[in-house]
Structure 1
Amino acid sequence: MIEKKEKLNLLNKVFSPTAPIKEENFFRGRIDQLKRIVSVMNEDGQHVILFGERGVGKTSMANISQKHITNLFSVKVTCSSEDTFNSLWNNALSQVQFSRTISGIGFKPQEKNSLVDLSNVLRAIEDMQPYDVYNCLSQFPMFKFLFIFDEFDNIKSQHVRSKFADLIKSLSDNSTNIKIMIVGIAENVINLIGNHQSLERCLMQIRMPRMSEPELLEIIQKGCDEVEMEMTKQVQNKIISFSSGFPHYTHLLSKFSLKNAIEKDQIKVKTENLDFAINLAIENAAEHLRESYRMAVFSESGNNKWQNVIFACAKCYSDQFNSFTVEDIIQEYQNLVKKECRIEDIQNEIEALCDKERGFFLEKQATESNTRFKFANPMMKPFILLNIEAA
């Protein structure tokens, strides 16, 4: 039986809404993606690019990959908008240090151990090229390296991205002991590293989708088991529904619900605990979400039409790409206002939500035959659903 204080402390390890998962014991789901990454490590000439929406767990996957793959030297670098090819590789190589035995000379030579710092090899080069990195690392064929470059979408320089593409191509053709994993927010590989057809055969493209309901349920149930607590099916289902596939919200709502129940000396999480968690989640949401929401719902006349349109966008049917049509929106809007409406009644509001004055709340995807919309920030949908519940 776990004591109350220990349960509260354990919650911070089991549920991690504000930081990526680092411990394999607390990582849930994503088995298929992890298997594909591991398979690349055993395939000569293959590298990985891991991409997807914000908040789907890409960094957590990168962290767990490091823990899971034990037969190589793993290094992880978080990219920033100021980084260059030089700074990224100086950062990466500064984390690679190992001891090397050097034979002495003379009649009675003695062996000496020398510390090798790979960053010293390239630091003097002002304009580092892909072949410089390759030449440096190829001197150590006895070691296997994995270099993970996370948040690669922060790199805006096409020149830097092209250098990485050239390096991956070179490593694929010539080296078997060096692996590179590119991780970042993107709808497709081209958006992340550019259009390089020569990379298709050597770059395993792994999209991180939103989590499935069974995966989200696993987060909840395994977390409850860790702290020896229970949760009603109704609360579990609500958390999954609100999460909209994003593990962040599952961790957040589960943690706050359980914390509230534990503090009240309950052994089962009920709706009242979830209500507390929802209000806390809204209060503690990222400021950019809160500000974007405020800009979108603002009404000079004080009516709630803008709010209802936004609520309808969050609740309406969306396709596999999380996009929806005006027809989808109007159907849900009618349910909210409880009267029949025409598309013309809300068309201006929907179009305005795509403009700067409303914070570019929606993105418009127009073709000759079809026009669809989606949230500019995918994590806005669960935030709106929480506001609907709290209203």
Structure 2
Amino acid sequence: MAKLNIWNWISALGRWLEGGRAPRRLDATLLLDHTSLFEEAPTSPIELSQKNQIRESSERDSRRDQVKVARIFDSAHPVRTRGELFGRADELDTLLSATLDLGQHVIIHGARGSGKTSLVRVYGDHADGHGAVVIYMACEPGASFAELVRPYLSALPAAALAPEERVRFRNALNALPEAFGPRAFVDLVAERVASTVVFIFDEFDRITDPNVKAEMAAAMKLLADSLASVLFMLVGIAHNVADVIECHPSLRRHMRAVSLGRIEPSSVKALIDAGEGATGLKFNDDARAIIARASCGSPFHVRMFCHHAAIAALARGSSSVSRSDAHKGLHSAILQWAAMNSEDAQHFVSLVEDETLLPEIERIARTAALGDRLPSHIGDARALLGSALVPESNSNAAFVFRDSVAPQFLIAYAILAEVAIASDAANRLGGPIDAATL
């Protein structure tokens, strides 16, 4: 059997989605794109100028529409307001209650793309409105405890300190040694910080040194015991952030854990509805179903697939996002992801070549997408997915995708493979192919 070139297969599929012949699978004869070498010449310079003006105006309008779509369905950045935070109202209320009402530390965990950073950004705006001081930073791998917390101490505004302690705090901060531990940190802030202060440590899963995790846990326990106004909020991927609790089991009564799973179908619908209202584009029911099927409730994937589908609709001059546009959107989203993860992408193509495996592939990918892990007993997942899976927390009890956003892309591959198979069957029967119905 010939070895498949992923880029040839994806390119052939893309050309078919644009109106060409469906790609046969491994033995596909790739189509060449042809454009006419001849155009009817304008009859006068005035006519040429008018045509150029019309084209430039159309291109400007199209560019504005694309920018609007990219902003509304932005999967690359955290959301900006509570109105954009779909499906997380309960989690936001929990964070506000735990920190502002109960004075608890918080751990937020969930898969990449689940909206952790978006949640804490919106939380910060609300907490600030309630008089708290929220300082957000992302963790750097290899940082010591002192290197982690010193920037937060330096960023503390004077208004957060008791007036009579402001000068003493700055002097004591400057006098801290390069390497200091949890006790020195707590001694510095416990009596001097007068208002509620929340230090958000985003991407805490990048910290792998168990000693640093133990010191963070010790600092949280000391802060709680001293009734300090400083709280920690640790944000990261679940099986790493949970290690902090294991370092100091008695922390459990001083903290709240918030797990971010997938958003409900009603929230997926609300997200797309809001996008329709903001962009003026209408997503038909088939397009919505395809996006929902592939995204599995991941806000990141919903936005990404909607973005690419909407761009496909704009490219054909339509204000309605169709089934065909959704397929084209999956295709272009795959291209974007595959450029960053060619190894898994190549393997996924080889998997969906066997149409008999498609139901099992989607079942495995959906299980991982919804639960962020695969129990070790689930079917032939390990045999099928190979190096795309890695053990969870260095054990064989469960596996996770090496790239945590990959399961939804594997489902997208399976969907497009189904489309290509259906078209191939129609070709063999000699019937016409309407890409918009596939």
Q: Distance in 1 between matches of 2:298 and 2:277?
A: 21
SS at match of 2:272: helix
Sort the Cα spacing of 1:176 and 1:281 in 2 relative to 1 into closer, same or farther, 3 A.
same
Residue matched to 1:313: 361
Q: Distance in 2 between matches of 1:255 and 1:147?
A: 33
Sort the Cα spacing of 1:327 and 1:208 in 2 relative to 1 into closer, same or farther, 3 A.
closer
Q: Distance in 2 between matches of 1:363 and 1:309?
A: 23
Instruction: Give the C-alpha shift of residue 237 in structure 1.
Output: 1.6
Q: Distance in 1 between matches of 2:283 and 2:233?
A: 38
Residue matched to 1:86: 146
Residue matched to 1:285: 337
Q: Distance in 1 between matches of 2:121 and 2:274?
A: 20
Instruction: Give the C-alpha shift of residue 153 in structure 1.
Output: 0.8
Q: Distance in 2 between matches of 1:133 and 1:200?
A: 21
Sort the Cα spacing of 1:364 and 1:205 in 2 relative to 1 into closer, same or farther, 3 A.
closer
The normalised TM-score by structure 1 is 0.77
Percentage identity across paired residues of the two chains? 21
Q: Distance in 2 between matches of 1:363 and 1:188?
A: 13
Check whether the contact 2:239–2:392 (CA below 8 A) recurs between aligned residues. Answer: no
What CA RMSD, in Å, does the superposition of the two structures yield over aligned residues?
Answer: 3.5
Matches within 5 A, 1:26-175: 26-70=84-128, 71-98=131-158, 121-122=173-174, 124-175=176-227
Instruction: Give the C-alpha shift of residue 194 in structure 1.
Output: 3.0
Instruction: Give the C-alpha shift of residue 136 in structure 1.
Output: 2.2
Residue matched to 1:383: 409
Check whether the contact 1:155–1:161 (CA below 8 A) recurs between aligned residues. Answer: yes
Residue matched to 1:337: none
Aligned residues: 350
| Residues 333-352 of structure 1: per-residue CA shift (max 9 Å, x gap) | xxxxxxxxxxxxxx6xx554
Residue matched to 1:110: none
Sort the Cα spacing of 1:228 and 1:52 in 2 relative to 1 into closer, same or farther, 3 A.
same
Sort the Cα spacing of 1:270 and 1:125 in 2 relative to 1 into closer, same or farther, 3 A.
same
Matches within 5 A, 1:233-312: 233-285=285-337, 287=339, 289-295=341-347, 304-305=353-354, 309=357, 312=360
Q: Distance in 1 between matches of 2:376 and 2:177?
A: 55
Residue matched to 1:107: none
SS at match of 2:87: coil
Mean Cα displacement is larger for which, 288-297 or 19-28? 288-297
| Residues 71-112 of structure 1: per-residue CA shift (max 9 Å, x gap) | 211111111212111111122223223368989xxxxxxxxx
Instruction: Give the C-alpha shift of residue 55 in structure 1.
Output: 1.8
Unaligned runs of 5+ residues in structure 1 are: 104-113, 330-346
Q: Which amino acid aligns with 2:389?
A: F
The normalised TM-score by structure 2 is 0.70
Q: Distance in 2 between matches of 1:169 and 1:119?
A: 25
Q: Distance in 2 between matches of 1:147 and 1:173?
A: 17
SS at match of 1:200: helix
Unaligned runs of 5+ residues in structure 2 are: 1-60, 418-438
Q: Distance in 1 between matches of 2:174 and 2:183?
A: 11
Instruction: Give the C-alpha shift of residue 298 in structure 1.
Output: 5.4
Q: Distance in 1 between matches of 2:168 and 2:325?
A: 55
Q: Which amino acid aligns with 1:89?
A: V
Q: Distance in 1 between matches of 2:234 and 2:353?
A: 44
Q: Does 1:359 align with 2:387?
A: yes
Instruction: Give the C-alpha shift of residue 377 in structure 1.
Output: 3.9
Q: Distance in 1 between matches of 2:335 and 2:387?
A: 20
Mean Cα displacement is larger for which, 30-39 or 58-67? 58-67
